[in-house]
Amino acid sequence: MQYSNYLIKKYKQIFGYVGLMITFIGIALLVPLIMIIFFPSERHMFLPYFIPSCLAITIGLLLKTGLKQDKTITLRVQDGGIIVILSWFFAIIFSAMPFLISKQLNFTQAIFEAVSGWTTTGLSVVEVTNTSNVTLFWRSMMQMLGGAGLVVIMMSAIIGPHGLGLYQAEGRTDRLLPNIKKTTKLILTIYIGYILAGTILYSIFGMSTFDAINHAMAAISTGGFSTKVNSIGEFNNISIELITIILMFLGTINFAAHYLLFKKEIKQFFKIGEIRFMFFILSVSIPFVVFLGLNTLYENIGSRIRITVFEFTSALSTTGFSTVSYKNWPEIVIFIMVILMIIGGGAGSTAGGMKQYRVYVLLKSLIWNIKNYLRPKRNINQSYVIRPDGKYYIFEKHINDISHYVTIYVLTFIVGTVIILTQGYSLSDSMFEFASTLGTVGLSVGITSASAPLLVQWTQIIGMILGRLEFFVIFYALLRLIIDIKHINNNLKINHPKKV
């Protein structure tokens, strides 16, 4: 009975934190309405955002009443995972409502668009030419908030004794400063600073202010939603493409690595194993495609370099912006892009994928094993990698954990690809689309659309969520939730037996 009381108190805390998140989402839904000031003809979009905002704020404040400081309650990472999952669930539901209320999308399509926004994927079922500026801004804003993370945003303003558990539950380990609250504030400062810089640069080189704001938010969050049908390719401006490449790079780098740049520790920054690995991947793949992969498709070598650098940076950073169509691209180039999307961006960044850090450690472990095999048995050498915080020694447990994650990721990729295959698409297209989905990339060969089969859309919805929140966080959180519910339920049966 005592443990059941403890669980009840714990879940009051959990739902209290979820209430805070929902309240924040409700407030966020009001921000796009500012666009009505600049686009008065879109006054009809007021209620589709105002109604879910009021609903979210009301529910959030009601749940928040259970949030009281209690030193007897300790929230672990699994409990933090429950908060994160519930918060993301409500964020998706309330964010989908404007699409439904305005009758622009049906239920599945609205959920798809909201999931794609919050997970910073960028795959879209919206026709941007027939979409209001209010909604276009909301799509970009979802990506900005999803990239920063609900937990980071909340903890930069309010934090209790459970901050670390919540922070880790969203898949983050990049503590820039000893204090979690200071870390989250610094992350947001860096993040917003890049968005402002991107907006200014885009405006200088030809974008309208509205387009500049939207693309800056989508680029730094590695989201990829665009206000244009042909994405960045619509502008056909090399300066805009270069700005986008820089923002995509910044978005895919670990926030702790950004901190080194701000401290002007440039040498230490370029010593980071993950950073070196990223440049190695691009330095090998780009020349191969420029000189062998696309040489028959684009005669001008300058065009090949320009296109390949942009598209491969977009794929590896999991941003999803594009300048060209891939319909006529050779299979080998499509396959390389699939590999890049699976690898993904940096750990502790806004990017998705398996993460460069995991792949880097696995490849290093292979090299270490070969060296250990050739080295005299008495010669013991502890292996390590360079991270933003310095040397990080790698033990067998680390490699096992990474191997398990990669195995689950690959199996999920295979299952998702097979499901899309059953709907009549080619193997190449199915692999590309689900690699983009699971890696939260957003590039498409044309499968993703409002008319795509329901099975494909829901497979992608699940894939995007798994790719953003990472598998183990979801698995352990759900397992914790099931165990706690069973315990409370069994205790209720003991204390309130059925009458015969």
| Domain locations in the chain as residue ranges | 1-104+126-173, 268-469
pLDDT means per 10 residues in the chain (500 residues)? 72 86 94 97 97 97 77 69 88 97 96 96 94 97 86 56 52 55 78 95 97 96 94 96 96 87 89 95 95 89 95 96 93 95 89 92 92 72 85 91 93 97 96 96 94 97 90 80 80 59
CA quadruple 421, 423, 428, 429: dihedral positive or negative?
A: negative
- 209-220 burial, b if ≥16 CB within 10 A, otherwise e? ebbbbbbbbbbb
Nearest-10 Cα torsion for 225, 230, 236, 237? -10
Q: Is residue 205 exposed (0-12), middle (13-18) or buried (19+ Cβ within 10 Å)? A: middle
> CA angle at residue 284 from 279 to 286, to 5 degrees?
90
pLDDT at 255: 81
Mapped onto helix, strand or coil, the DSSP state of residue 386 is: strand
Return the pLDDT at 177: 52
End-to-end CA distance of the chain: 24
Specify the pLDDT at position 89: 93
The per-residue pLDDT for range 56-72, each reduced to its tens digit, is: 999 999 998 866 666 66
Give dist(CA 217, CA 213) in Å, integer.
6
* Residue 233, token pair as written in the block: 């390719």
pLDDT of residue 147: 85
Measured CA to CA, the distance from residue 247 to residue 490 in angstroms comes to 53
Return the percentage of the chain with pLDDT > 90, whole number.
64
Give the Cα separation of 137 and 32 in Å (integer): 6
pTM given for the model: 0.91
Closest by Cα among 246, 239, 220, 240 to 228? 240
CA distance 110 to 97: 7
Q: Got the DSSP string for 63-123? A: HHTT----TT----HHHHHHHHHHHHHHHHHHHHHHHHHTTSS-HHHHHHHHHHHHTT---
